[in-house]
C-alpha cells in the first residue's frame, strides 16, 4: 500500500462530532465525517445528548459493576475482603470516565448506594459510615467514599491549568475566565 492510499484510508475512518452552531452541518471539511451517534475516544463516549453520555459512560458501567459485585455476594468474605473488591472491581471502572467528564450527582449517589449494599450484603449498616471511611489505624475500614474520589478528580485539572503555559487545551478555560472573571 502506498502512502496516498493509506492517507485516503485514514480519511475515510476519521470521525468528528461538530459542536456549537455547526452541530447540524453536513459539511465535510478535510474529509471528516459528522456523526450524530456517540464517538468513542480513549474509552469515553462523546455525544451531544447529555443523557446518552451519562448512560454510556456511567450507568452502563454501574450496571456492570453491580453485576460483578453481585457474583461475589454469595461468598463468605470479610468486611476487608468486600472493601478490597469494591475498590478493585467496582470503583476502578468508573474513575477513568470520571477523570475526563463531569460526574452527575445521581451517579455519585447511585454508586455509593450500590457499594454500601454490597458491603453489608443488602442489610442495614452495622457501623456508622463516618467510621467506615476512617483508615485502619483509626479503627475504620478505609472504605471508599465515591464522593471523595470524585472531588479531587474534578479539581485536578486546575493544577494542570496553572502549571502549563499556552497549551491548546487551555483555550476553553481561558475564554471562560476572560468572560466571567
The domain segmentation of the chain, as residue ranges, is 1-36, 44-164
Q: Is the pLDDT of residue 28 over 70?
A: no
Read out DSSP for the chain?
A: --HHHHHHHHHHH-EE---GGGTT----GGGPEE-SS-EEETTEEE-S-HHHHHIIIIIHHHHHHHHHHHHHHTS---HHHHHHHIIIIIIHHHHHHHHHSPPPHHHHHHHHHHHHHHHTTTS--SS-HHHHTS-GGGTS-----HHHHHHHHHHHHHHHHHH--S-GGGHHHHHHHHHH-
Task: Report pLDDT digits (tens) over 122-149.
Answer: 999 888 989 999 999 999 899 999 999 9
Q: What is the pLDDT of residue 33?
A: 63
Can you tell me the distance from the alpha carbon of 162 to that of 174, in angstroms, rounded to the nearest whole number?
11
State the pLDDT confidence band at 65, using cuts at 50, 70 and 90. very high
State the pLDDT confidence band at 41, using cuts at 50, 70 and 90. confident
Q: What is the pLDDT of residue 11?
A: 45
Q: How much of the chain exceeds pLDDT 70, in percent?
A: 80
Query: Is the entire prediction scored with pTM above 0.75?
Result: no
Amino acid at each position: 500500500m502506498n502512502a496516498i492510499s493509506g492517507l485516503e484510508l485514514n480519511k475515510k475512518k476519521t470521525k468528528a462530532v461538530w459542536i456549537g452552531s455547526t452541530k447540524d452541518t453536513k459539511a465535510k471539511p478535510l474529509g471528516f465525517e459528522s456523526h450524530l451517534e456517540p464517538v468513542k475516544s480513549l474509552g469515553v463516549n462523546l455525544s451531544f445528548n447529555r443523557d446518552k453520555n451519562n448512560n454510556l459512560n456511567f450507568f452502563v458501567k454501574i450496571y456492570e459493576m453491580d453485576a460483578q459485585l453481585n457474583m461475589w455476594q454469595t461468598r463468605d468474605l470479610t468486611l476487608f475482603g468486600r472493601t478490597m473488591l469494591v475498590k478493585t472491581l467496582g470503583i476502578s471502572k468508573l474513575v477513568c470516565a470520571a477523570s475526563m467528564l463531569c460526574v452527575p450527582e445521581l451517579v455519585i449517589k447511585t454508586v455509593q448506594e450500590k457499594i454500601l449494599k454490597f458491603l453489608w450484603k443488602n442489610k442495614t449498616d452495622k457501623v456508622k459510615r463516618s467510621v467506615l471511611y476512617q483508615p485502619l489505624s483509626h479503627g475504620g475500614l478505609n472504605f471508599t467514599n465515591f464522593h471523595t474520589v470524585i472531588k479531587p478528580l474534578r479539581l485536578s485539572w486546575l493544577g494542570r491549568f496553572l502549571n502549563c503555559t499556552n497549551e491548546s487545551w487551555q483555550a476553553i478555560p481561558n475564554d471562560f475566565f476572560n468572560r466571567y472573571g
